[in-house]
Structure 1
Amino acid sequence: MNSQYTMEWNLDSLFSGGSSSKELHNYISELKKNMDVLLSAVNKFIIPEHSNDSKDLEDVIQLLEKATKQLSEFSSFVSCLSAQDVGDKEAKLLVGKRSQLSSLYATTISKFDQKLVQIEENVWEHLIEQQTLIAFKFVLNERRKLAKEKLPIEQEILLNDLSVDGYHAWGEMYDTIVGKMSVELTNGDESEHLSVGQAANRLSDPSRLKRKEAFTELEKEWKKNSELFAETINHLAGFRLQTYNHRGWAHVLKEPLDYNRMSDETLHAMWEAIANNKTPFVSYLKRKAELLGLEKLSWFDLEAPIATSTKTINFDEAARTIIEQFSRFSTNMAEFAQTAFDKGWIEAEDRAGKRPGGFCTSFPDSGETRIFMTYSGTASNVATLAHELGHGYHQHVMDELSVLNQDYAMNVAETASTLAEMVIADAAVRNATTQDEKISLLEEKIQRSVAFFMNIHSRFLFENKFYLERRNGIVSAERLSELMVEAQKEAYCNELESYDPTFWASKLHFHITDVPFYNFPYTFGYLFSLGIYANAVESDGNFEESYKELLRDTGIMTVEDLAKKHLNVDLGGLDFWEKGIELCIADVEEFLRLTENKIR
């Protein structure tokens, strides 16, 4: 039977020829020239002495927009190349080139920011209100404020230059090591070698023996390389801590909170609301263990389906379901998803040689998007596909704006994606034809709540404890595993039989150099999207446009102002968060009721 949609993405429409593309290398040359022109303009920038002296600033912004757009285009393409084939040597060289250009860009931006700092306050206040600049008011004010908190420009430039081989290189080393890893698992009477991403898919297999085998073999592989991963995570954290120390930043959460345009008060309110409401989710874990015939769940049982047999969903069916359900929520979302499937923007093939995980990346210069994942036909895969399409739609509605106003943070980025997941999950439960199917689909929804309230919480707790100990020196691989288990026990309320000591090594997010603490943004996005989704369900038909406006504002507002403007809620209090959690608890209560008579 012929498939309607391909599971391999088309990168040639961006730059033909892959990592050896002449077209790409010409683009890199043009990018480098434009970055040099931008740097020259920043160096020649004359500090305005009057509010009507805005021409230099306007010129720099125009050049900055062009360079930003091209660097993002190149960076996204390199991400796609290195993800689709971890053995692509040319792609590895391009990763190095990207780091160099990113460092040059960061240096140029640092110089520009320092020029902004030198403008007198009274001149700045009037200058930013000029008609040609007011659209960039939030972004420029933010850049100026953050620049005041950094080192003198010469030191920031040195920091950027050293980070290429001293900071980002550690993240690249992690990717290289993972790319060479493989796991041997049994398949009937034979054995097969799988990438870690393929093997991780086995953790949702209906067979406990297969789940345990996959977990055990993965753990062996992560443990075998744990000393190398300990080097990676320690040196990444060490670089950050030294940078914070020299800048005079006492709080390790300052950078991620600034990056997410989020207050410490909001973060603590969110975690407090979750910590106060974990009891129902512990009841769910107990019930799931009973349904699987276990006294307690182990880590490798968390994603296990409770049905004895699971339905395999082919890629075409997944595509049709997503498009249909998106259309009930937003015609624009559905149209975007249709375009992504039709034009081959999705890499989903289940094959060796791909990096693990999934992502969505956008190409601002060409106006396209690419989604990466490994699709094996599970309901979880469908949810991931919807999640990444949600990311793509978010960027799609931002395309109409200046690229400088498109820089939204991770927490609000995870809002559109988790909302898209929710649309699919709710539709699946609603359309279930039998009670068993409804229970199974409801349980998959609850799995996501547990992931955001417990798994992500354990990551947050781990990083807090790790950074505290890292201030006093290198933390050994053994101690990292101890900290990981301690965090998991606390987050899961000691409800599991066994945990995952090497999770600190296997989770890519701990080794990403973009920003530390890439954990709480997921939980924020999940709960924030619940509030938006509730509005959609209760709306009078005007929701689609208001949702687009909210997404467009994500690049020019703090999350607190965004929530106040579009939802009229206070994120610093517990009420908003608890209302979102109550919706998740309602799922648990229904699950417990439906499964009461099914305990083995």
Structure 2
Amino acid sequence: MQFELPRPIFDANANSGASPEGEGLGNLPEWDLNDLYTAEDAPELTRDMEWLEKACADFASTYEGKLDDLDAEGMLKCVQDYEAIDLIAGRIMSFAGLRYYQITTDAGRAKFMSDCQEKVTVFTTPLVFYSLEINRIDDDKLAEMFAENADLARYKPIFDRQRAMKPYQLSDELERFLHDQSTVGAAAWNRLFDETIAGLTFDIDGEELPLEAVLNMLTDQDRSKRETASHALAKVFEENIKIFSRVHNTLAKEKEIEDRWRKMPTAQTGRHLSNHVEPEVVEALRNAVVAAYPKLSHRYYALKAKWLGLEQMETWDRNAPLPKKDEKTVAWDDAKDIVMQAYNGFDPRMGELAEPFFNKGWIDAAVKPGKAPGAFAHPTVTNVHPYVMLNYLGKPRDVMTLAHELGHGVHQVLAAEQGELLASTPLTLAETASVFGEMLTFQQMLSEAKTKEERKILLAGKVEDMINTVVRQIAFYDFECKLHEARRNGELTPEDINTLWMSVQAESLGPVFNFEKGYETFWAYVPHFVHSPFYVYAYAFGDGLVNALYAVYAEGGEGFQEKYFDMLRAGGSKHHSELLAPFGLDASDPKFWDKGLSMISGMIDELEAMED
């Protein structure tokens, strides 16, 4: 099935903002989930759950063992029936998941989500045959059906993606087993991680604070507060390191076992297939970024050390604000105005698409006890609308996070036109609209800078965001590659994982950093590694793509807005090569990535020139 739970993903470019109280932020919006269901016991939810059980059984009874005998019209009906099931299952799990992430420490919400997941898994187990039988249909026969029926041909990208898994397909019985046991496999370890993270508290001068508030302190102007926060994080991570190590060991081993049975050549293969991207394209991206470490992160952090008056930086200085930086809190309404002005400035249609998120209860913004950390935009299902989760605390970086998640939301609204099966965008393209939304917001703020100092602060902030999005995420990707490779050779101790983490940190951050004891455990809280192995390179892919895309826009490319909206509307119906071709861009060209990286390097050039 296509549905999945919304995942709390830390934005690549953000550490959330101020104190949990949210003073001076104004009225922060909360979700209104009534567009999905009104309550756990809503009659509509009961009705849909009963419908889902019967629909899955009927689907299996009607189609199992018969897909190869269907004509084009029959195959279209089969796909549409499957899509209807996907829609209802996705609606149920979206409601359960979004409620859970609002308060992950609420036992009732956790039970409700778990119960829904178990029921949906049981109901949909009879559907496992569907993808297996599709992969057994002869290529020529499918091609004939697509040629005969245009409505069926519209679904060809779904067939293509599914059939890319053909070489790695297991027996029908094994596929059913893997589907059936999923709720007590990775999903259970994901939940243990989420609940452990949400339950952590950190002692800051006698006050117990949650993770978000302490991560925010790493961006405090006061260096002693940043150090205190870093030590508090290290202490609690170390106290819980055995749990985090067990989670990573188990998930990596489970993945290795399944990959081995499927005969996947690498641990990354499954992610590349789901992203519909060629391994050599990802490798070209990775190599380009690693080669650029010296002219990007190493050079920038050396410059930042000079600004901070330090010969050597500690890890808690990485996201420190610049001296004299305005620490004024950005109220929620002001943040909305900034982002909406940028969106409307690009095209009024973009503003119209973003407006309902603010006035119809599609955003949950406040930091609350037990709420999942980070931020995400979840598309739910195509006949409802997306929901955005933030932990908004009023820092300028939080404004960028709002711009980022709204970009996802706009993308998801437009892609919904494709229908449930074709709307979902591969991760490599899913970051396009979000990063573009950030770039629009940044460029607007930069154009309004009134002094050299204000421009410097904005440029430095954007460079840091881009380094976090590109350099740091590729370092994360290398860490995951090393972790999964090492796990194939046996159980990893916490110290083993710490060593792998530090090997990529030193390489990516550069010689200006001193790595004090404690930082070696900071891999423990990153949810990408647990929920979505190898997700992280999608951030770098998206940033590089958007940098190249924005350059075309800045050059005044004819009809750019129309091409851009067409790209977003396409959802998952086209390959990245097809989507980029109208802009004259090609991600398979190694020079494509250098073009994106040169934008970051150019901003650092300007910052260095300001020192003269």
* Common topology (TM > 0.5): yes
5+ residue gaps, structure 2: 1-22
Give 1:177 deviation, angstroms: 1.1
Q: How does 1:362-381 map to 2 (within 5 A)?
A: 362-381=379-398
The residue type equivalent to 2:76 in the other structure is E
Q: How does 1:552-591 map to 2 (within 5 A)?
A: 552-563=569-580, 565-591=581-607
Q: How does 1:280-429 map to 2 (within 5 A)?
A: 280-281=295-296, 282-308=298-324, 309-429=326-446
Give 1:557 deviation, angstroms: 2.7
Give 1:285 deviation, angstroms: 0.4
Match of 2:194 in 1: 175
Moved more, 25-34 or 431-440: 25-34
Moved more, 34-43 or 128-137: 34-43
Give 1:146 deviation, angstroms: 1.4
Output the CA distance in 2 between the equivalents of 1:240 and 1:181: 27
The residue type equivalent to 2:591 in the other structure is D
Give 1:419 deviation, angstroms: 0.9
The residue type equivalent to 1:30 in the other structure is W
Match of 2:275 in 1: 260
Q: Is the 8 A contact 1:387 1:420 kept in 2?
A: yes
Output the CA distance in 2 between the equivalents of 1:263 and 1:106: 30
Matched residue SS, 1:32: helix
Match of 2:5 in 1: none
Identity %: 26
Match of 1:245 in 2: 260
Say if 2:296 is the partner of 1:277.
no
Matched residue SS, 1:132: helix
Output the CA distance in 2 between the equivalents of 1:211 and 1:42: 60
Q: Is the 8 A contact 2:386 2:409 kept in 1?
A: yes
Output the CA distance in 2 between the equivalents of 1:148 and 1:346: 41
What's the CA shift string for 1:480-515, capped at 9, x where partnerless?
Answer: 111101111112234321273122211011110xx4
Give 1:2 deviation, angstroms: 11
5+ residue gaps, structure 1: none
Mark the CA change 1:435 to 1:488 in structure 2 (over 3 Å): closer, same or farther: same
Matched residue SS, 1:501: helix
Matched residue SS, 1:97: helix
Mark the CA change 1:450 to 1:106 in structure 2 (over 3 Å): closer, same or farther: farther
Say if 2:57 is the partner of 1:36.
yes
Number of aligned residue pairs: give it. Answer: 585
Q: Is the 8 A contact 2:117 2:183 kept in 1?
A: yes
Pick aligned residue for 1:117 from 114, 135, 143: 135
Give 1:405 deviation, angstroms: 1.0
What's the CA shift string for 1:68-93, capped at 9, x where partnerless?
Answer: 12222222222221221122222212
Give 1:232 deviation, angstroms: 0.6
Give 1:240 deviation, angstroms: 0.7
Output the CA distance in 2 between the equivalents of 1:399 and 1:256: 23
Match of 1:220 in 2: 235
Give 1:41 deviation, angstroms: 3.1
Give 1:105 deviation, angstroms: 7.0
Output the CA distance in 2 between the equivalents of 1:123 and 1:243: 31
The residue type equivalent to 1:181 in the other structure is L
What's the CA shift string for 1:114-170, capped at 9, x where partnerless?
Answer: 221332333222012222311111211321331342111111111121222122211
Q: Is the 8 A contact 1:42 1:108 kept in 2?
A: no
Mark the CA change 1:258 to 1:101 in structure 2 (over 3 Å): closer, same or farther: farther
Q: Is the 8 A contact 2:293 2:508 kept in 1?
A: no
Match of 2:151 in 1: 132
Output the CA distance in 2 between the equivalents of 1:125 and 1:365: 28
Q: How does 1:174-193 map to 2 (within 5 A)?
A: 174-186=193-205, 191-193=206-208
Give 1:589 deviation, angstroms: 1.1
Match of 1:97 in 2: 115
Mark the CA change 1:102 to 1:574 in structure 2 (over 3 Å): closer, same or farther: farther
Output the CA distance in 1 between the equivalents of 2:182 and 2:289: 36
Say if 2:457 is the partner of 1:445.
no
Output the CA distance in 1 between the equivalents of 2:321 and 2:359: 31
Q: Is the 8 A contact 2:161 2:273 kept in 1?
A: no
Pick aligned residue for 2:99 from 71, 81, 93: 81
Matched residue SS, 2:379: strand
Mark the CA change 1:440 to 1:106 in structure 2 (over 3 Å): closer, same or farther: farther
The residue type equivalent to 1:297 in the other structure is M
Give 1:65 deviation, angstroms: 1.2
Q: How does 1:498-517 map to 2 (within 5 A)?
A: 498=515, 500-512=519-531, 515-517=532-534
Q: How does 1:458-537 map to 2 (within 5 A)?
A: 458-498=475-515, 500-512=519-531, 515-537=532-554
Match of 2:32 in 1: 10
Mark the CA change 1:86 to 1:519 in structure 2 (over 3 Å): closer, same or farther: same
What's the CA shift string for 1:10-37, capped at 9, x where partnerless?
Answer: 22343223x5655444433333333333
What's the CA shift string for 1:329-382, capped at 9, x where partnerless?
Answer: 122221122111111211111332211111111232542221111111101100
Mark the CA change 1:13 to 1:5 in structure 2 (over 3 Å): closer, same or farther: farther
Q: Is the 8 A contact 1:107 1:156 kept in 2?
A: no
Output the CA distance in 2 between the equivalents of 1:556 and 1:280: 37
Output the CA distance in 1 between the equivalents of 2:36 and 2:164: 37
Matched residue SS, 1:278: helix
The residue type equivalent to 2:419 in the other structure is S
The residue type equivalent to 1:27 in the other structure is D
Give 1:262 deviation, angstroms: 0.8
Mark the CA change 1:270 to 1:46 in structure 2 (over 3 Å): closer, same or farther: closer
Output the CA distance in 1 between the equivalents of 2:582 and 2:230: 43
The residue type equivalent to 1:585 in the other structure is S
Q: Is the 8 A contact 1:269 1:571 kept in 2?
A: no
The residue type equivalent to 1:235 in the other structure is T
The residue type equivalent to 1:589 in the other structure is D
